[in-house]
Amino acid sequence: MDERRTVVVDDLMQKGYAYVLTEPAGRNFHPEFRPQLTPREMLLLGVFGGKYMTDCAGEFPEDWFERAKLNRERHSPELNLFGVNASQPLAEWRRKGWIHPDDPRGWFQWYCRYYLGRRGPDDLRQIKRWKAMTRHIAQIRAHCTNGDMTCRRRQRQALLHWAYDSRNF
């Protein structure tokens, strides 16, 4: 990337936070981080009950939100690809210490910013958390017929929230 770009955030959860994009969007990921879906693809498929990031779309590329399944008023599990709720409340994530101050919305916010080209002090922890989700892939493979999207829908939706595409197994 020839020129670095600074992004200044001003939304309901962050005011005056700024970060620098040091890598080209969607490229130069850590070698152990190989998400199967882009943030745009995740939003199109239906994640987080459609409520996630509805007040901060201006920070991200417009095309991420074209045809995205969103609900600005409330969390709507029916908007999720698998039609079920697979989320824990943000308060629970805070209680467990999973939230880094740079990304007060959690992992998906980190991933969106990482995808755009931000690299930062929380990258290795978040990648480790992403890798830990593979235990759900093992459960689906062990208990579901290949291609049965009705089997373990909650685990499939949770995997989608972490950029894994369970439609492929």
Q: Give strand pairing partners of 17.
A: 9
Q: How many CB atoms lie within 10 A of CB 49?
A: 21
pLDDT of residue 162: 97
- Answer whether 19's CB lies under 8 Å from 5's CB: no
The DSSP string of the chain is --S-EEEEEESSS-EEEEEEE-S-TT-S--TT---SS-HHHHHHH--GGG-TTTT-GGGS-GGGTTT----SSS--GGGSTTSS-----HHHHHHTT---TT-TT-HHHHHHHHHHTB--TTHHHHHHHHHHTHHHHHHHHHHS-TT-TTTTHHHHHHHHHTT--GGG-
Domain count, the chain: 1
pLDDT of residue 2: 53
Q: Consecutive 10-residue runs of the chain (169 residues): their mean pLDDT?
A: 83 94 98 98 95 88 94 93 92 91 95 98 97 95 93 97 93
pLDDT of residue 1: 45
Predicted TM-score (pTM) of this structure: 0.94
Compute the distance between CA of residue 156 and CA of residue 139 in angstroms, rounded to an integer.
10
Count of residues making up the chain: 169
Domain span holding position 11: 5-168
